Amino acid sequence: MDSKAYSGGLAELRELRDEIKPRLRDLVKLRTELDKLQARRDQQIVELGAYEKAKADRIATSAGVSVIDVVALVPSLGPQGTPSAPADAPAGGLSAADELPGPQTAVQPIKEPAGAPAPDLRPAAQPAADTATDEPATDTAAEEDQDLEAAEPLIDTATTSPPATPPGVEQERTLPSIPDGAEGDRWIYAEPNLTSKRPNFKQAARQMAFLDTATGVLVWQAGTVTLDLGRASVAEILTAVYATVSADVERIYITAGDPWHRNAARHQFLKDAVSEWLNGPLPEGWRVESSRGKDRQAGHLVHPRNPVGRWQRGNDQHTEIRSVGEWFDPAGADPATVRAAFVELWKALKRHWDDVVLMGSPSQTGRDLWSRTIPAKAGAKWADGYPVMSQEIRGLLHATAGQGRTELITPPRVPERVPGWYEADRTFAYAKHTWTSGVGVPQRMTAAGFAALSEKEQANALFSPSHWQVRVTIPKEWDHVGLLPAPAPGERAWHYPYEGGRTFTTWAGGAEINQALRNPIQPWKLEILDGLVWDKGDPLKDWSNKLKDVWKSLRALAQTHGDEQQRQAARLASRAVRSILLYGIGMFAQRPRITTGSVELGTGGEVPEIPDGARLTGLTDTHATWERNGGFARDPYAHPEWAAGVWSAARAALLSGPTGTTDPATGKPARAGALHLPAGSILAFRTDAIYSSVRPDWPYSGEPGDYLLKGAMAWEQTTPTADEEFYVLQSLGRQALEAEDL
């Protein structure tokens, strides 16, 4: 670029600025007017909700919001609990028309009852219960290693009241709790006639094609061609692909090009660009898919990076356009290599599942493969299926069990300049935490019930698969990272309090409770307020072990195969196995159903009516996108207690956990994690990864759960204070380590 072009560009930029300014003013004005109207609407909902015969669903329909939104404003309109199913309940259970749109009991604010002190779990004489944190070395239950140093007694029988929120700390949101007494006890049941059973059918296989929209290269079972895709709109892709392949190709995976982002610069949010692309004009005879089968869903999924578009031609031809990024990052692989990766994945899975079918996404595939490991032999335990928890318990777990830990630690907690930047990532981490899970209907453990147990019984409860409401007091001398998640301001947001002397109330899984009580630095004080304790079982173990075996075999193939393309395909396939397990576990969480859709704008740009209970989420020049919360479905595979247990164990192991090698000094498994690095050296957490200013010296054997050094810069860095700065250092650190290894 010369100076003339630069000056011309600046002039064009000023013109754009002048065009944007008035539109921003209009937008602010519209937002102000909208806020006022929404406030009036909410006030009207509250006033109408005071009427003794008011119905949440009728108010929601009239207001154009969801029932959940109405109940949030008027909690008294929420259902007040569902008793256990009576003996004469119909055999078919609830029909789809009977499904409730949300948790059946209104959220109960956390009270401040007297808690029962948790026992000291650190003495050498540990109970013969399995640890909820670490996987045993063999199939039999193994006692946890006793490598923790002795410290002062944990129990403080004096009752402490929580101090006021520290200055400068924004008010946290309040988590729900189980109602007191008989009302809360009615939550403890399994949904009638709803269990996870082994399927008695085989999934239908779908023919797939792989398309690079940047180059036009299309690969499918019958060959390879290069297409002219124009601007790669939906219409151009469907026309070009189905002029080449037969109609039985039902999935088109985009391997590169991201055509849904072509107009991203015109939109403030990526989802709006994706929505515009999905809702673009269609070739004659095509329409958005409106039917669904056993493994087919109707309509589009508007995801900012991995969207799913579904269309049909006539009544018989159906197709999906999906991103291969759902399965793995193709890392520049061409469509032929990506297809080879899917072939290798199928062949490797076939060794363990004769009826394996690769479905549209890794989450769907993971759940289907798991369902085919459910015991089916008559008389086997759980051969009749795994019961699904009550809607109340599922709603509680949805609200109180977070996923991976994401935290950026900034000055003044750490120096503004640090001596280095290191990324240590746990390999295939979730596979490490599937050896035991809670099964059956849980036992409720109130503070009074917990206090009445012997110390051994208390320890056994804490070592069982469990989920606890606790009041936490951090030791005054604490100077390391936080150990337990607490609700942060904002929906579904979590943070990790670390300030010495601070007291807070939260929910946490048994693995994290154990970590807080027996961490290698100093135990935290916990008071049990309430809890759910499940029997131990291994519903995920067979599924996980098979996936681990597939993962290992593909990794070995990636190192030994003589053909470079096949080595790359095997590497990609091994990453797909990781996605199958990772997203398969996420499917058990069964969040409330979110339905998305779009409607075409009127000729004057006016927005037509959207479905009752839906809210507007996006607006383009041609379409309005809406979203509706459908509440919790009667899903036979809904097991949030399993997902919550794995997530809790993974977060605990991020702090301290055994590796696959032995510590020569103790003869026990060497331990690794953030608490084994100096205080003040931790810069960030990202799900399975730790970022620090000192180089972790942890052994790596390639086993699930081991820490692999993925980035390293052994020179002074400016500490990141925002996500954008963090991702720059993450990328530079990986590049530096790769150059170091060359």
Q: Give the pLDDT confidence of 195-229 residue by residue, as tens digits.
A: 999 998 889 899 999 999 999 999 999 999 999 99
Split at pLDDT 50, 70, 90, the class of 661 is confident
Is 682's pLDDT higher than 90?
A: yes
412: cis peptide before it, omega within 30°?
A: yes
CA atoms within 13 A on the CB side of 206: 21
Split at pLDDT 50, 70, 90, the class of 172 is low
pLDDT value at residue 491: 63
Q: Which two tokens stand for residue 361?
A: 């996404």
One-letter identity of residue 145: D
pLDDT value at residue 162: 38
Torsions phi, psi of 658, nearest 5? -75, 150
Residues in Cβ contact with 59 at an 8 Å cutoff, skipping those fewer than 6 apart: 45, 48, 49, 70, 74, 77
Instruction: Compare 463 and 667 and report the one with higher pLDDT.
Output: 463
Torsions phi, psi of 224, nearest 5? -135, 135
Instruction: Compare 146 and 267 and report the one with higher pLDDT.
Output: 267
Split at pLDDT 50, 70, 90, the class of 614 is confident
- Tell which residue, 228, 118, 151, has the closest CA to residue 455: 118
Digit-coded pLDDT (tens) for 147-170: 322 233 233 333 333 334 444 445
Task: Let me know: does 727 contact 419? Beta carbons within 8 Å.
Answer: no
Distance CA 391, CA 225 (A): 51
Instruction: Kindly report the pTM of this predicted structure.
Output: 0.75
Digit-coded pLDDT (tens) for 306-342: 999 999 999 889 999 999 999 999 989 999 999 999 9
- Dihedral (C-alpha) 702, 706, 711, 716: value to the nearest 10 degrees? -140
Where exactly are the structural domains of the chain? Answer: 3-77, 116-188+431-537, 207-365+544-593, 417-430+638-741
Distance CA 233, CA 216 (A): 12
